Structure 1
């Protein structure tokens, strides 16, 4: 969720041969790719010796047990949480495989994998979540205030400007990190993931020669999802502000600092789940109707951002992505 990956969909469709194929998703990890299907996920990583290590694990999801979690707008929040947890697990695993280690270190790694709990995974997510909130909610909000736009008198203008600041910061962020050698390699694996998924969805043989032909841009990509998040936030954030002021008219008279704290918390606690769920549904609709002109217009900005977050992979990287796809079929 990942930014460097593709959302799995419950949708199934027929390929050119008429075979029904379930959608798969995944993400780039360190020196490799994670791919997930409905019930299982795989991680393929190239180790320091040059060999590809593949692990396959079950996905313990409550979705099949509680059908309500498949309902529109609810499923988006569930999918986001599942992908975040799965993404962190995959990144931690790939980091251990990709780094050189002796036999003693391997034993310690296997022991730590056995003892690692979901609490540890959750704690690993906290710094990234805090950084995201500060960069893309707190700073744009405060920056817009200090350039002289008053939220309580012009809430929609305020959040329109804050939204553009938020998007600009995100683009600047991914441009800067793309200059790092290791991140650029991850972006190449991101492109390899997309190409291998395209190859699978087209019903072609899962070999490097076939996968190489496809694009690195994919409409179900997490980067496109993030663009929808920024877009929907332009609408939801001012609605939350106006709703609070309507329910509590005295809110406009609150101390500025207290008012900002309440608004930012309401954006995090109330608005973000709504934005995530709506963005997920929009991602599914645009993927299903991607050949409709209006949908192509909606998809275009996300595909543009993917030109930064995906790079053309090498054949060796495609080989890793293909092994990850094969493992979940």
Structure 2
């Protein structure tokens, strides 16, 4: 009999833990300071109209990004609450100054992440707008009157985006809390790779695998820059002023996101084909910044989250009525 391909799972790193998304449930595992691993389990409930849109090419990418951003923020909030309780301690003392002095700025990092989590979808939309508008405005101010070649303008704009992105990721990677977040990101990838290879999920087996993975959202970020350069360079998207240029960028943002998602799916589909597999390499290179090698303890948390997700998925699948509701 032909061997069944493993299911495709995704996830995200959270503060001191990992969230995995299954067919019927999302599960987050977080390690507390006393070494206890706690779980946050949430059934996946998707409205019928959202399910329909998730099947429509070029639309499903945008809907999926917004939906996952909203749901992911709930799991990130859970991890932040656990972290805050551990930092406060049993005596309830304010540890803000302690964080600043002993953790090299982790208090600032936690505040930054908390803001992203609370904002949810709003943060996602504003972040994409800023990343789209600011590089265009910078390029226009620096080079707008230097030459008329629209393709060259767009290439420079794309380069500015990449520089901004790499600079930002490099800067925050020095913050201890963000560094640990990136380590858990690596642990998430390793667990998925080990599972997809058909190996038993032990710490020793998982650690053998690379922390880079084709389906990571980091790849989507790089592809959106490349797709944007191509779309903006089309003749009918020329501009005559900086405001017109920014307007076009905002107007085309959903198109860029939708096309980038389809390109990402394509690169995943052809990653086992020689030569074509290199299409996904820019995203893998970016993951050298967004992931770090995890410790054994961090891998153990990732395994615990993945196993719990699959266990709950199996339980719900055995209940046809409930599975139909949560699918």
Q: Same fold (TM over 0.5)?
A: yes
After TM superposition, the runs of 4+ consecutive aligned structure 1 residues lying more than 6 A away are 102-105
Structure-1 residue corresponding to 2:299: 318
Matched, 1:280 2:261: yes
Cα deviations by residue, 1:227-279 (Å, 9 ceiling, x for unpaired): 1011101012233xx4356xxxxx74xxxxxx4334323322x3121111111
Report if the CA contact (8 A) 2:211-2:293 is conserved: yes
Out of 191, 198, 206, the residue aligned to residue 203 of structure 1 is 198
Could you tell me which runs of 5 or more consecutive residues in structure 1 were left unpaired when the two chains were aligned.
Answer: 1-13, 106-119, 246-250, 253-258
Structure-1 residue corresponding to 2:245: 263
Distance 1:83-1:295 versus aligned 2 partners, 3 A rule: farther
Structure-1 residue corresponding to 2:113: none
Report matched runs for 1:246-261 at 5 Å: 252=240, 259-261=241-243
Out of 66, 81, 90, the residue aligned to residue 66 of structure 2 is 81
How many residues were matched structurally? 285
Could you tell me which runs of 5 or more consecutive residues in structure 2 were left unpaired when the two chains were aligned.
Answer: 93-115, 311-327
Structure-1 residue corresponding to 2:155: 160
Distance 1:63-1:318 versus aligned 2 partners, 3 A rule: farther
Distance 1:123-1:184 versus aligned 2 partners, 3 A rule: closer
**Inter-partner Cα distance in structure 2 for 1:197 and 1:26:** 9
Report if the CA contact (8 A) 1:54-1:323 is conserved: no
Structure-2 residue corresponding to 1:188: 183
3-state SS of paired residue (1:291)? coil
**Inter-partner Cα distance in structure 1 for 2:64 and 2:51:** 14
3-state SS of paired residue (2:201)? coil
Deviation at 1:286, TM superposition (A): 1.3
3-state SS of paired residue (1:133)? helix
Cα deviations by residue, 1:88-114 (Å, 9 ceiling, x for unpaired): 222111100122257899xxxxxxxxx
Distance 1:71-1:130 versus aligned 2 partners, 3 A rule: closer
3-state SS of paired residue (2:285)? helix
Distance 1:238-1:122 versus aligned 2 partners, 3 A rule: farther
Structure-2 residue corresponding to 1:303: 284
Out of 198, 206, 215, the residue aligned to residue 210 of structure 2 is 215
CA RMSD for the aligned pairs?
Answer: 2.6
Matched, 1:139 2:120: no
**Inter-partner Cα distance in structure 2 for 1:152 and 1:62:** 50
